[in-house]
């Protein structure tokens, strides 16, 4: 039996929404098509659309490599993302132009048109609101504003007591400060929270380092190898998480 929680801490991508990591359906427009066109216009056509698309893809890979090769877990800023990863080889004027718009461009880069609520999440949040149980979002992201806007559009913002994002805090999971900040904002000790994430090597590790009451894994798609990062429970979606919560209460 898991400890009874006083609050829930939820990852965004993979838990609240389907993360958008899966391939796009055949015939769909390429991801970031509007962003590519916007950057092309902003730079006066100096940088071609194919070059912009390639730079975005390479920056995503470089950012991922940076995350795997450091223990400090320091999140890069929007300006670093564009100035040091995306536009680093562009003409100086084009690079300076995107730096002026770095935060809004990053918001657009982080947003996914194919985000969908995972099954049972709306019911879960209805339940926590009804019980007065605080829920916080704890998520790694290039731009938390993109997640805030999505929660608004899904009509969920009122059910969320706090939102902690890596670009706003300056560190990313598995740094325990992500969870500690959320617990502090909702006024609940980390030990009295459940943390729910979809990645063992980031979310379960973060939960253990922060000392939460229980680390819950909600894998997206096929179950992933957890290795040594064994969660306290595994659920398929929000419906199973709600059932687990009801049992613990």
> What are the mean pLDDT values of the chain's consecutive 10-residue runs (249 residues total)?
96 90 53 93 96 96 84 92 96 97 97 93 98 98 97 97 97 97 98 96 95 95 66 96 96
Do 242 and 123 form a contact (C-beta atoms < 8 A)?
yes
| Whether the Cβ atoms of residue 142 and residue 110 lie closer than 8 Å to each other | yes
Q: Under a CB-based contact definition with an 8 Å cutoff, are residues 98 and 135 in contact?
A: no
Determine the pLDDT at residue 28: 46
* Distance, CA of 130 to CA of 205 (rounded, Å): 30
**CB under 8 Å to 164, separation ≥6 — which residues?**
136, 137, 138, 139, 178, 181, 182, 185
Indicate whether this model's pTM tops 0.75. yes
* Residue 120, C-beta contacts closer than 8 angstroms, at least 6 positions apart: 237, 238, 239, 240, 241, 242
Q: Which residues contact 64 (CB under 8 A, 6 or more apart)?
A: none
Instruction: Return d(Cα 220, Cα 199) in angstroms, integer.
Output: 9
Residue with tokens 């391939």: 23
> Which one, of 146, 156, 213, lies nearest residue 183 by Cα?
213
Copy the structure tokens of residue 164: 């902690």
DSSP category for residue 47:
S
* Pair of tokens at residue 199: 């990645």
Q: Locate 125 and state its tokens.
A: 């949040």
DSSP 2: P
Beta bridge partners of 214: 194
């Amino acid at each position: 039996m898991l400890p009874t929680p006083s609050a829930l801490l939820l990852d965004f991508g993979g838990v609240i929404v389907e993360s958008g990591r899966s391939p796009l359906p055949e015939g769909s427009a390429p991801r970031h098509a509007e962003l590519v066109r916007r950057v092309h216009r902003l730079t006066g056509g100096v940088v071609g659309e194919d070059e912009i698309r390639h730079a975005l893809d390479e920056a995503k890979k470089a950012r991922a490599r940076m995350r795997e090769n450091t223990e400090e877990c320091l999140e890069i800023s929007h300006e670093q993302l564009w100035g040091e990863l995306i536009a680093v080889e562009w003409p100086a004027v084009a690079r300076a132009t995107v730096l002026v718009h770095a935060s809004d461009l990053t918001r657009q880069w982080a947003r996914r048109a194919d985000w969908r609520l995972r099954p049972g999440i709306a019911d879960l949040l209805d339940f926590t609101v009804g019980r007065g149980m605080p829920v916080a979002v704890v998520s790694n992201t290039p731009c938390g504003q993109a997640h805030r806007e999505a929660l608004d559009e899904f009509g969920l913002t009122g059910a969320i007591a706090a939102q902690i994002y890596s670009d706003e805090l300056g560190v990313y999971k598995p740094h325990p400060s992500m969870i500690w900040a959320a617990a502090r904002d909702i006024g609940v000790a980390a030990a009295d929270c459940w943390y729910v994430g979809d990645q063992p090597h980031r979310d379960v590790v973060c939960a253990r380092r922060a000392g939460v009451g229980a680390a819950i894994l909600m894998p997206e798609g096929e179950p992933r190898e957890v290795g040594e990062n064994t969660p306290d429970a595994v659920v398929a979606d929000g419906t199973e998480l709600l059932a687990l919560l009801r049992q613990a209460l």
